């Protein structure tokens, strides 16, 4: 009888210790994110992830043809526990910044109002909810632009978004509190070994690394080869006793549980 009472308490204490120090009882966490809703994500990335039973996060631009023309396939992806996440409706970026010749006048963030941007993000949340039935949603800033004419446009949406991915290249410590600008590594042209070296850096420092992919085997100017991507997945699978590969949403919820004050 006494044992019955003492054991749950003991496990409660152990779990408190573990939650306070670790990534789901592992040395580090890895989050694989894929931006802009590309065909190659459905055709190559999802099958590659499924073949090793790892989950990814897809930051979807809801007006992208590879999203609107393949809705049922994205629904299936969600049903397979991958994360469908918010990357706005039209992917507006600030065209007034250098090197932004690709920004069209219709979708220039510099000419948006905060209301218009907020509406886009809410509409994308609703669209994704229609597919996967979920209310918890994460966000990634198009082009990494966090401000609209000097205003941090996500401020009014924090009740509707659990976390957001930034684009600064930094590992995320377990005590991170900046849930709306979590760092990530933009991948473009790295080899499999270089991707693995980044994971090892996270393992050595008990951190989380968020990968930011666009094209995988093509379809985007920012690209990584299928071979490099496959090599990374194999390393993650082989080392899964030390590495928690999870979705951006699950990782953000874990950070929140570790640092209840996290909200910035
Ligand atoms: Zn994007």
CATH of the domain at 222: 3.20.20.370
Which residues have a beta carbon within 5 Å of ligand 1, which is an ion?
A: 35-36, 142
Could you give the number of structural domains in the chain? 1
Q: What would the pLDDT profile of 69-89 be if each residue is shown by its tens digit? A: 999 999 999 999 999 999 999
Instruction: Calculate how far, in angstroms, residue 54's C-alpha sits from the geometric centre of ligand 1.
Output: 22
Instruction: Calculate how far, in angstroms, residue 143's C-alpha sits from the geometric centre of ligand 1.
Output: 6
Q: What is the mean pLDDT of residues 212-230?
A: 97
Would 17 be classed as within a structural domain? no
Is residue 47 predicted with pLDDT exceeding 70? yes
Is residue 146 predicted with pLDDT exceeding 80? yes
Would 18 be classed as within a structural domain? no
Would 14 be classed as within a structural domain? no
Poorest-pLDDT segment among 2-11, 16-25, 35-44: 2-11
Q: How confident is the model at residue 8 (pLDDT cuts 50, 70, 90)?
A: low
pLDDT the model gives residue 261: 62
pLDDT the model gives residue 185: 98
Would 160 be classed as within a structural domain? yes
CA atoms within 13 A on the CB side of 39: 4
Would 4 be classed as within a structural domain? no
Q: Single out the residue of 184, 185, 189, 186 nearest to residue 223, CA to CA.
A: 189
Q: How many residues does the chain have?
A: 264
Q: How far apart are CA 195 and CA 200, in angstroms?
A: 9
Q: Single out the residue of 81, 35, 88, 90 nearest to residue 58, CA to CA.
A: 35
Q: How far apart are CA 84 and CA 82, in angstroms?
A: 7
Give the residue numbers spanning the domain of 234. 24-258
Instruction: Calculate how far, in angstroms, residue 203's C-alpha sits from the geometric centre of ligand 1.
Output: 27
Whole-angstrom CA distances from 100 to 34, 112, 189, 202, 221 are 21, 16, 21, 32, 14
Q: How far apart are CA 117 and CA 193, in angstroms?
A: 39
Share of residues in the chain with pLDDT > 90 (%): 88
Q: How confident is the model at residue 36 (pLDDT cuts 50, 70, 90)?
A: very high
Instruction: Calculate how far, in angstroms, residue 65's C-alpha sits from the geometric centre of ligand 1.
Output: 14
pLDDT the model gives residue 9: 52
Instruction: Calculate how far, in angstroms, residue 9's C-alpha sits from the geometric centre of ligand 1.
Output: 46
pLDDT the model gives residue 7: 53
Would 3 be classed as within a structural domain? no
Q: Which two tokens stand for residue 80?
A: 């397979």
Would 220 be classed as within a structural domain? yes
Q: How confident is the model at residue 20 (pLDDT cuts 50, 70, 90)?
A: very low
Instruction: Calculate how far, in angstroms, residue 167's C-alpha sits from the geometric centre of ligand 1.
Output: 11
Q: How far apart are CA 165 and CA 182, in angstroms?
A: 5
Higher-confidence position of 19 and 128: 128
Is residue 211 predicted with pLDDT exceeding 70? yes
Long-range Cβ contacts of 16-25 (<8 Å, 24+ apart)? 19/257, 19/258, 20/258, 21/174, 22/174, 22/206, 23/174, 23/206, 23/208, 23/244, 23/254, 24/244, 24/246, 24/254, 25/244
Average confidence score pLDDT of the chain: 92
Q: Which two tokens stand for residue 185?
A: 């590594």
Poorest-pLDDT segment among 14-18, 129-133, 205-209: 14-18
Report residue 194 CA to chain centroid gap: 20
Instruction: Calculate how far, in angstroms, residue 4's C-alpha sits from the geometric centre of ligand 1.
Output: 53
Is residue 21 predicted with pLDDT exceeding 90? no
Would 7 be classed as within a structural domain? no
Poorest-pLDDT segment among 12-26, 37-51, 107-121, 140-154: 12-26
Q: What is the mean pLDDT of residues 192-211?
A: 98
Q: How far apart are CA 191 and CA 225, in angstroms?
A: 8
Instruction: Calculate how far, in angstroms, residue 93's C-alpha sits from the geometric centre of ligand 1.
Output: 9
What phi and psi, each to the nearest 5 degrees, are found at residue 252?
A: -65, -40
């Amino acid at each position: 009888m006494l044992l019955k009472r003492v054991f749950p308490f003991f496990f409660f204490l152990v779990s408190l210790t573990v939650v306070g120090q670790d990534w789901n009882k592992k040395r580090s966490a890895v989050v694989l994110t894929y931006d802009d809703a590309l065909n190659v994500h459905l055709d190559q990335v999802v099958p590659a992830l499924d073949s090793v039973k790892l989950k990814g996060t897809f930051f979807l631009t809801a007006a992208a043809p590879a999203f609107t023309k393949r809705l049922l396939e994205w629904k299936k992806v969600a049903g397979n526990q991958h994360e469908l996440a918010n990357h706005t409706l039209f992917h507006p970026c600030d065209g007034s910044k250098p090197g932004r010749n690709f920004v069209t006048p219709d979708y220039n963030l510099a000419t948006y109002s905060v209301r218009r941007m907020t509406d886009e993000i809410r509409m994308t949340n609703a669209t994704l909810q229609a597919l996967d039935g979920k209310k918890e949603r994460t966000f990634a800033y198009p082009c990494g632009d966090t401000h609209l004419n000097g205003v941090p446009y996500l401020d009014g949406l924090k009740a509707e978004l659990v976390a957001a991915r930034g684009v600064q290249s930094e590992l995320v410590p377990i005590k991170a509190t900046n849930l709306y600008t979590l760092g990530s590594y933009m991948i473009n042209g790295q080899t499999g070994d270089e991707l693995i070296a980044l994971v090892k850096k996270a393992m050595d420092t008990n951190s989380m690394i968020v990968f930011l992919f666009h094209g995988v085997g093509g379809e985007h100017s920012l690209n990584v080869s299928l071979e490099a991507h496959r090599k990374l997945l194999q390393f993650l699978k082989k080392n899964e006793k030390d590495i928690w590969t999870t979705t951006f949403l699950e990782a953000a919820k874990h950070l929140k549980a570790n640092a209840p004050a996290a909200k910035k």
